[in-house]
Amino acid sequence: MGFEEATPIQEGTIRLGMEGKDIIGQAQTGTGKTTAFGIPLIEKIDTRDGNVQGLVIAPTRELAIQVSEELYNLGKDKNVRILSVFGGQEIGRQIRALKNRPQIIVGTPGRLLDHINRRTLKLENVNTLVLDEADEMLNMGFIEDIQSIMSNVPDTRQTLLFSATMPDPIRRIAEKFMKTPEIVKIKSKEMTVENIEQFFVKSVEREKFDILSRLLNVQQPELAIVFGRTKRRVDELAHALNLRGYLAEGIHGDLSQAKRMSVLKQFKANKIDILVATDVAARGLDISGVSHVYNFDIPQDPESYVHRIGRTGRAGKKGVAVTFVTPREMGYLSIVERTTKKKMEALVPPTADEAVIGLQRVAMEQLETMTEKNNLGSYRELATEMLDKHDAVDLVAAALKTLTKDPEDAPVQITEERPLPSRGGGGYKGKGGGRSSGGGYKGKGGSGRPSSGGYKGRRESSSSSRPSGGGRPGRTRRHES
């Protein structure tokens, strides 16, 4: 696969995994955890045996597909048969595929249970169980399903749990399902990746969108993901970004699976520049070229923050993350910072003029690329004709002005989202809105929250807190709107 050396988590877990140990593996986003569990899993498969021997559970359909693809790459020389099963795909097709005797199944909890109940999936020969994004899988929304699935897997199995985050209460739950697990935690100063520059923008709700579009113009991401809190938010943001001339599409749980897959495919193929998403795209997705992540709404819990911004800065690459915070939500910012052990820098929103400069730069690059392509044919004759009549600088300036459309003219409609409930001194609750209620864990809210007031002004007044261009200029294409 072209990897030259093992990443720390791979070095720390592959040998243990091959020895058959239960493992809780924790390492930062984008550091190769899939391969860390993938190699021991693949190595253990007996290719003469047509039973399901390995089961990987992932929280989202897109992640299940991605993990199955990576396992396929790892196992293809050995001819290991791998199948992904997930909701939203025709079940008949999956049932037929299950008859082809796959040896590893990668699936989402609901659909796995469906197959277990229909007796189309038998797990009595499974000797390796993997929970990717383990803390999410053992959190309120999934825990009951996971327990039911586990009850169908022999107790003698090896259990491998991986995630970039593992809050203590969840780790304690995890250990109940494991046999004296080895805890392999790759030490780092921060929970987030050092290569990601992290900023926050303090803004009232109604100004967020204009600031976002200005930031996009100034920072010029190669590919960007914008996270919103709700499905409606995602729909409105994607629509509004299109009105402003960006190539953006939304992804969330209410869309058909066909649509979800096509949006992701277009994004990976760089046919769209901005993916607007709910937390459905927060975990595990590995998409090369994502240079910027914008949290249009600050996430409810710090783990979600870690995973969202971890969609950039993967495998040693650089990234930029910008989180919008309304004044009432500043408490959440401190909680995130305390959990990640990393302070975000305050970002002064670009002015409309600065944003236009960004657009002018894009126009300039468009003209330059066009010139370099050198296939201007009859346009050259027209140009010569025009140069007889006008000053050359005036003409180029006019061409630039024509190409630079000030997008803030386009009116957009974004419904105001209620701010997160204001934080008292207490901890935050783990994910709300799960399928089961109650339970949950109390996160690291803690008491004695330090006031974030002190450093803010200083940083805000420093112009160096602005990301220097942020990415390769001129990447975010704008379509004719």
Does position 32 bind ligand ATP by CB under 6 A? yes
* Residue 6 near ligand ATP by CB under 6 A: yes
Q: Which is nearer to ligand ATP, 315 or 386 (CB)?
A: 315
Amino acid identity of residue 330, one-letter, is M
Q: Which residue has the tokens 């300036």?
A: 397
Q: Is 278 in the site for ligand ATP (CB under 6 A)?
A: no
32 vs 471 by CB, closer to ligand ATP? 32
Among 27, 28, 33, 128, binds Mg ion (CB under 5 A): 33
> Out of 308, 314, 423, 478, which residue is the one contacting ligand ATP (CB under 6 A)?
314
Which amino acid is residue 184, in one-letter code? Answer: V
Binding ligand ATP by CB under 6 A: which of 13, 26, 35, 94?
A: 35
* Best CA proximity match to 71, nearest among 34, 25, 97, 112: 34
Single out the segment in contact with Mg ion by CB under 5 A; choices: 30-38, 39-47, 96-104, 440-448: 30-38
Which residue, judged by CB position, is nearest to Mg ion in the bound state?
A: 284
* CA pair distance 222, 130, nearest whole angstrom: 33
Please select the residue that binds ligand ATP; options are 109, 221, 284, 349, rule is CB under 6 A: 284
Judged by CB under 6 A, the stretch of 232-240, 310-318, 441-449, 471-479 that binds ligand ATP is 310-318
Distance (Å, whole) CA 15 – CA 306: 27
- Minimal distance in Å, beta carbon 459 to ligand ATP? 28
Q: Is 30 in the site for ligand ATP (CB under 6 A)?
A: yes
**Is position 7 an interface residue for ligand ATP (rule: CB under 6 A)?**
yes
Pick 3 or 379: Cβ nearer ligand ATP: 3
Binding mask 268-307 for Mg ion (x = CB under 5 A): ----------------x-----------------------
C-beta separation of 233 from 259 below 8 A = no
Name the segment binding ligand ATP (CB under 6 A); options: 180-188, 212-220, 259-267, 307-315.
307-315
User: In which residue are the tokens 């249009």 written?
Assistant: 296
- Residue 70, number of CB atoms within 10 A of its CB: 18
- Considering only residues 16, 17, 22, 33, which one is a binding residue for ligand ATP as defined by CB under 6 A? 33
287 contributes a contact to ligand ATP by CB under 6 A: no
Q: How many residues bind Mg ion (CB under 5 A)?
A: 2
Binding of residue 109 to ligand ATP (CB under 6 A): no
CB of 181 or CB of 284, closer to Mg ion: 284
The residue among 226 and 240 lying less far from ligand ATP, judged by its C-beta, is 226
CA separation for the pair 216, 227 (Å, rounded) = 14
Residue 286 lies near ligand ATP (rule: CB under 6 A): yes
Residue 132 CB, nearest approach to Mg ion (Å): 6
State the sign of the Cα–Cα–Cα–Cα dihedral 32, 34, 35, 36: positive
364 contributes a contact to ligand ATP by CB under 6 A? no
Task: Give 29 or 476: the residue with its C-beta nearer to ligand ATP.
Answer: 29
The nearer residue to Mg ion, 239 or 268, going by C-beta atoms, is 268
Binding mask 143-182 for ligand ATP (x = CB under 6 A): ---------------------x------------------
| Comparison of 34 and 127: residue with beta carbon closer to Mg ion | 34
Nearest distance from residue 314's CB to ligand ATP, in Å?
A: 5
Alpha-carbon gap, residue 477 to 138, rounded angstroms: 40
| From the list ligand ATP, Mg ion, none, partner contacted by residue 31 (C-beta under 5 to 8 A by kind) | ligand ATP
Query: Count of residues binding ligand ATP (CB under 6 A)?
Result: 17
Asked if 59 is part of the footprint of Mg ion (rule: CB under 5 A), the reply reads no
Q: Which residues bind ligand ATP (CB under 6 A)?
A: 3, 6-7, 10, 29-35, 164, 284, 286, 310, 314-315
Q: Which residues bind Mg ion (CB under 5 A)?
A: 33, 284
